[in-house]
Amino acid sequence: MRNASLWRGVLGVEKAVVEELDFDPVERVLVAHVRPRRHASRRCGLCRQRSSRYDHGEGRRRWRGLDLGTVPVWLEAEAPRVRCVKHGVTVAAVPWARHGAGHTRGFDEQVAWLATQCSKTAITQLMRIAWRTVGAIITRVWADIDAAQDRFAGLRRLGIDEISYKRHHKYLTVVVDHDSGRLVWAKPGRDKATLASFFDQLGPERSALITHVSADGAEWISTVVAKQCPQAVRCADPFHVVQWATEALDEVRRQAWNLARGAVTRRRAGRSTGHAKALKGARYALWKNPENLTGRQQAKLAWIARTDPRLHRAYLLKEGLRLVFSLDPAEAPAALDRWIGWARRCRIEAFVQLQRRIVKHRATILAAVEHGLSNGRIESVNTKIRLLTRIAFGFNSPDALIALAMLTLGGHPPVLPGRA
């Protein structure tokens, strides 16, 4: 046909011949009849190796292309099958689309880019596709990007954590590179087998190059890391350690509130009623760091110090543990040991139990202080993944969510078609 090279550029097809163009004025759809060039034809759809022709397949089929203005575009071509030495009988590859896809490569790439930049409604209305189709597209785009680059290259310091991505206790295990801040790996599950699969992909040689691993105190993470990369320095995340103390403090606060409430029931005293209400409203004053307290919250803490010495002592224990992470590495061991002794003698059961947990993780806590390593980057990535889970609601499988997270946070974002 005339101006064939022009139409190849407009349609975004390479290594192909544009044979004919049909425009349906009723449905307002442009159908381009194309075929692969001779050197691009009769190739296996999986490995792209030249293969012998098997049969005509199921006849002609169509692929959705990028719109021309407001007009939808379809590419139509024969879809023969070939006999591959490695993969057997399979549909022949076409240069303008991925194997098994119903959309052109340019269409896939534009949808993937929009998925990392736009809202769900904007993508589906602009591209005229269902949201589940978006999930399938970004999954295959990420598979191509992942195959073209080595995301495990240069890994030295890792952060490992789990994140809930759906109701009914559905979790992802995520691995983040501390040096670049990018998401390296994610997989459904939060157990030893899930994390072990990451190290299986990483391989023993690269696992031996890992120098630091930060995580919370989960036993399943510690066990796998100790087995797969024993040379790495394991660091307990300061945020999670202080969170343990905050949870213990909150347990003491609830006990104090229940005691005050019980006194109300027995004595029906107005003073006890006010005490219980005041304790119920003291949660944030006890949780927050002292430097972030408002004037009203500071007054609340002063009231607790006067009226409930046991609860105030629990608050000081929480702050004492938090202080350990701000000390010089040379001072931290002695300070942590003093805190352990204090908590052991405090006669507050929640903190007696906590000090036993701290003793168990003492080496990793001090390693975190010495190396200044925390899961701060991981928590930042987790927050972004939580936002993506809202966007990804409606995808058929967690693979689409993982693909969206890797395209957005993995350091290798999709590129719009026609851009470098």
How does pLDDT run across 74-104, given as a tens digit for each residue?
A: 999 999 999 999 999 999 999 999 998 999 9
Residue 215 lies in a domain: yes
pLDDT at 161: 92
- 69 and 86 in a single domain? The answer is yes
CATH code for position 205: 3.30.420.10
| Element (DSSP H or E) covering residue 61 | strand 60-68
pLDDT at 256: 86
Residue 111 lies in a domain: no
pLDDT at 281: 72
pTM of structure: 0.83
- 232 and 281 in a single domain? The answer is no
User: Taking the CA atoms of the chain, what radius of gyration do you get in angstroms?
Assistant: 30
Residue 414 lies in a domain: no
If you write DSSP's letter for every residue of 365-413 in order, what string do you get?
A: HHHHHHHT--SHHHHHHHHHHHHHHHHTTT-SSHHHHHHHHHHHHSS--
Residue 28 lies in a domain: yes
pLDDT at 301: 86
- 17 and 50 in a single domain? The answer is yes
Residue 143 and residue 371 in contact, taking contact as beta carbons nearer than 8 Å: no
Residue 143 lies in a domain: no
- 209 and 282 in a single domain? The answer is no
Query: In b/e form, how buried is each residue of 49-72, taking b as 16+ CB within 10 angstroms?
Result: eebeebeebeeeeebbbbeeeeeb
pLDDT at 295: 86
- 195 and 284 in a single domain? The answer is no
Cα dihedral sign for 34, 36, 42, 45? negative
pLDDT at 264: 47
Taking alpha carbons only, the member of 145, 79, 75, 149 closest to residue 109 is 145
pLDDT at 378: 84
- 256 and 364 in a single domain? The answer is yes
Residue 20 lies in a domain: yes
Cα→Cα distances 282→92, 272, 293, 374, Å: 68, 15, 12, 29
Range of the domain at 313: 238-371
List per-block mean pLDDT (blocks of 10 residues) for the chain, which spans 420 residues: 75 87 89 91 91 89 93 93 93 92 94 92 93 93 92 93 81 92 93 95 94 91 93 92 93 86 52 65 82 85 88 93 92 95 94 95 92 84 86 80 93 85
- 223 and 250 in a single domain? The answer is no
Cα→Cα distances 357→142, 216, 227, 361, Å: 41, 12, 22, 6
Question: 211-214 long-range contacts, Cβ below 8 Å, gap at least 24?
Answer: 211/156, 211/157, 212/156, 212/157, 212/158, 212/178, 212/371, 212/373, 213/157, 213/158, 213/159, 213/160, 214/157, 214/158, 214/159, 214/160, 214/178, 214/368, 214/373, 214/374, 214/375, 214/378
Could you give the number of structural domains in the chain?
3
pLDDT at 1: 55
Residue 137 lies in a domain: no
Residue 45 lies in a domain: yes
